[in-house]
Amino acid sequence: MPSIFSYQSAEVDWCEGNFEHSTVIAEYYNTISNVSFFVLSAALLYLNRQYCQQRAVPMYFVSGLLLCVGVFSMYFHMTLSYVGQLLDELSILWTLAVAYSFWYPKVYFPRYMAGGGRERGRDLGRDFGVTTVVSTLMSFIKPAFNAYALNCIAFHLLYLTWCELKKCNDKRVHRMAAAMVVWWALAITSWLSDRWLCWLWQAISFPYFHSFWHVLIAVSLLYCFPLVIYFDVNYEMPTFKPKLGYWPSDSWPVVVPYVALEEPHKQC
């Protein structure tokens, strides 16, 4: 019986051919394209540094977890091992759980958490914790199914974004949300087409859609996080006014969004 650490012991094998460019890296482009998560993690900390000064723990925690996602995903595509697959999926699950427990807006907390703000926060943290531990245990049952379940969380994020946009008049926020949705749609199309249309991509010798997914989902998260930060500042930091900006400048053809904090009530 092959070890759970051995090469190609995972339940899934992506469309890119194995060991075509290296004898130690199974899927070469799928492995190196994970560099996107390192860039994402650094960009979030650097561009949103004002917010980072106010909310250091969530930002460093989530950025650190995104680095883990990149490292484990690299390990998975390099080895295609069962352990690599679980590490890849569990790091995504825990990053999502931690991000939700830091940033899930209190207005959407369930009714049964009727106590004061701090207690409700603790209740929700406990519920996310229990759900994540149960999901972690369940993910050993059928790892190939986990990726589909994780992808479904994007629909909940879309729903939350929709609810927030209904309350927001800032055109920049609407434009940024639209850009996030477009990048995510491109990302999920690449992921699904690598899974389901591999015969077609192999026939035309272009089996690289999973590496596109890595880059595209990282870009959509570059748009998603500033939105999350924008809404968090509006809800939780009343002494600041969030302002969406683009780095290096609005007029450049390729730009990266970020949130700057203004202090509207500051006298002199």
Residues of this chain that interact with Ca ion (CB under 5 A) are 13-14, 16, 18
Ramachandran angles phi, psi of 206, nearest 5°: -140, 70
Asked if residue 210 lies in contact with residue 14, where contact means CB atoms within 8 angstroms, the answer is yes
What is the Cα–Cα distance from 258 to 2, expressed in whole angstroms? 46
Cβ neighbour number for residue 175 with a 10 Å cutoff = 13
By CB under 5 A, what part of segment 55-94 binds Zn ion? 73
Count of Cβ atoms closer than 10 Å to residue 10 Cβ: 23
**Residue in the shown chain whose Cβ atom is closest to ligand L2Y2AEV6:** 147
Subset of residues 204 to 233 that bind ligand L2Y2AEV6, contact rule: CB under 6 A: 213-214, 217, 220-221, 224, 228
Tokens of 5: 């650490």
Quote the least distance from Cβ 234 to Zn ion, whole Å.
Answer: 34
- DSSP of 13-46: --SSPTTSS-SS-SSHHHHHTTHHHHHHHHHHHH
The binder of 75, among ligand L2Y2AEV6, Zn ion, Ca ion, none, by C-beta within 5 to 8 A per type, is none
Q: Which residues pair with 241 in a beta bridge?
A: 262
214 is an annotated ligand-binding site residue: yes
x/- map, 73-92, ligand L2Y2AEV6, by CB under 6 A: x--x-----------x---x
**Closest approach of Zn ion to the CB of residue 186, in Å:** 15
Q: Provide the pairing of β-strand 256-262 with 241-247.
A: antiparallel
**Among residues 82, 103, 230, 258, which is the contact residue for ligand L2Y2AEV6, using CB under 6 A?**
103
Binding partner of residue 18 among ligand L2Y2AEV6, Ca ion, Zn ion, none, CB under 5 to 8 Å per kind? Ca ion
Distance CA 157, CA 135 (A): 18
Contacting residues toward ligand L2Y2AEV6, per CB under 6 A: 69, 73, 76, 88, 92, 95-96, 99-100, 103-104, 147, 150-151, 153-154, 157-158, 180-181, 184, 213-214, 217, 220-221, 224, 228
